[in-house]
Amino acid sequence: MADWGSLLNLRRSDFPHPDKVSWDLVQALDVATALLGVRPVILSDWRAYDPANSTTQHHISDDLSRAVDVVFPNTDTVATWDRLLSMKLFTGLGIYQNDNNAQSFHLDTRIGRTVDEPATWGGVITHPFDVQSWKNVRKTEYLSAAFVLDLVKKNGLPVLVFLVALSLWYVSTRS
């Protein structure tokens, strides 16, 4: 049973649908808030069923969400990502650019994954963590790739073709 008074950092009013968010997720986010020292802005928790996104953790059932989308204001995105991963509180972590062009985090407590091997992804921007090498991507690489992906997303195939051609030209002049 949810005991909102037992939380140190979060309040029931922080959540759009507090009665539909899994209590283990609320507690994990409360601990993360304490460790980061920054109150999150919760953008989304439970969502109505969407057949186009039937695997979302935001809608486990009509009464349950195991996911939140949050922004940690005035923090370095890559450093926050690193810290969230190292906390080992969530079994799903994503990073994406939200509608306000801010870097947002998806955090969940999905079943079937562990905090030692969480599901991770980058959404619409480059992921700052390379799951193949299990190492952080340098911040300059992360920001550059995010910029390029944003250009391609907004302008489509012509920009992608131009960037590939430019890259091939650059590589051929360096040889």
Q: Which CATH number fits domain 4-137: 3.30.1380, 3.30.1450, 2.40.128, 1.20.120?
A: 3.30.1380
Domain extent listing, the chain = 4-137, 138-175
Mean pLDDT of the chain: 82
Dihedral over alpha carbons 138, 143, 146, 147 (to 10 degrees): -140
Q: Cα separation of 115 and 89, whole Å?
A: 6
Print burial letters for 111-132: b (CB count within 10 Å at least 16), e (below 16).
Answer: eeeeeeebbbebbebbbbbeee
pTM for the full predicted model: 0.69
Q: What is the 3-state secondary structure (H, E, C) of the chain?
A: CCCHHHCCCCCHHHCCCHHHECHHHHHHHHHHHHHHCCCCEEEECCCCCCHHHCCCCCCCECCEECEEEEECCCCCHHHHHHHHHHHCCCCEEEEEECCCCCEEEEEECCCCCECCECEEECCCCCCCEECCCCEECCHHHHHHHHHHHHHHHHHCHHHHHHHHHHHHHHHHHHC
Note the pLDDT tens digit of each residue in 80-139: 888 999 999 999 998 877 666 567 899 999 999 999 988 887 643 434 444 445 444 555
Angle between helices 139-155 and 157-174 (to 10 degrees): 140
**Of all residues in the chain, what percent carry a pLDDT higher than 90?**
45
Beta bridge partners of 69: 44, 106
The percentage of the chain sitting over the pLDDT mark of 70, rounded to a whole number, equals: 79
Q: How far apart are CA 149 and CA 27, in angstroms?
A: 34
